Amino acid sequence: MSILLVSGTGTGVGKTVVTAAIAALAVDRGASVAVVKPAQTGVAPGEAGDLDEISRLSGATDLHELVRYPDPLSPEAAARVGGAEPLLLDVVARHVDRLAGSRALVLVEGAGGLLVRYASDGWTMADLARLLQVPVLVVAAAGLGTLNATALTLEVLAGRGLRHSGVVIGSWPARPGLAERNNVRDLEQLAGRSLAGALREAAASSRDFLGLARHGLDPTLGGRFDAADFRT
């Protein structure tokens, strides 16, 4: 069994697409994979959420959304504003642990960045990682501002004694500029290792998502991404 938490350096950096890419590679090799979205926000009941997109892209069908709040806020704020019950950390941990007992891979996609609050007691994805004793894959943006956000995320992980399994650029532009090209080296220095992947911009609209996943994620995530080749 293997559990991987997928967290971003912020909102809109490509967590869902990266999660879908990892799931697609696992499904393609015949592995049993479950995908968990502890809290979906900003989506009304009956509307398609992140798990629907992951299923569309990857073919994964073992999907688990634990709570849904329609307001586009953090899970804690959305529950409070909507008068709903908050999601408890131990409930999520038990659910993920149970799935891991019978699946080869369990992917857990967080909401927003690493320290987004899920309930009034302030628990975050970092707390879930610590409770489960599992690594966190960090999804980062490519352009200006990514170095600060990535450094802060990695410092929190290190400061709490948590492991990270690498940094993936969630959306690599078709025409990278000076900032994007230079950020690759700096992101690797922050992570202390080569990039774990870089998915092409607009990968979710490609007819060959599996192919993009294979070339956009490194072997630790099931793909063939070569960081040295990417740098050149």
Tell me which residues are annotated as active site.
37
How open is the CA angle 218-223-228, to the nearest 5 degrees? 35
CB 66, CB 39: distance < 8 Å:
yes
- Give, for 35, the enclosing helix (H) or strand (E): strand 33-41
Q: In one letter, which amino acid is 70? A: P
Q: In one letter, which amino acid is 93? A: A
Instruction: Give 35's contacts (C-beta < 8 A, 6+ positions apart).
Output: 19, 23, 51, 54, 55, 60, 62, 63, 64, 106, 107, 108, 109
Neighbours of 159 (CB within 10 A): 9
Q: In one letter, which amino acid is 48? A: A
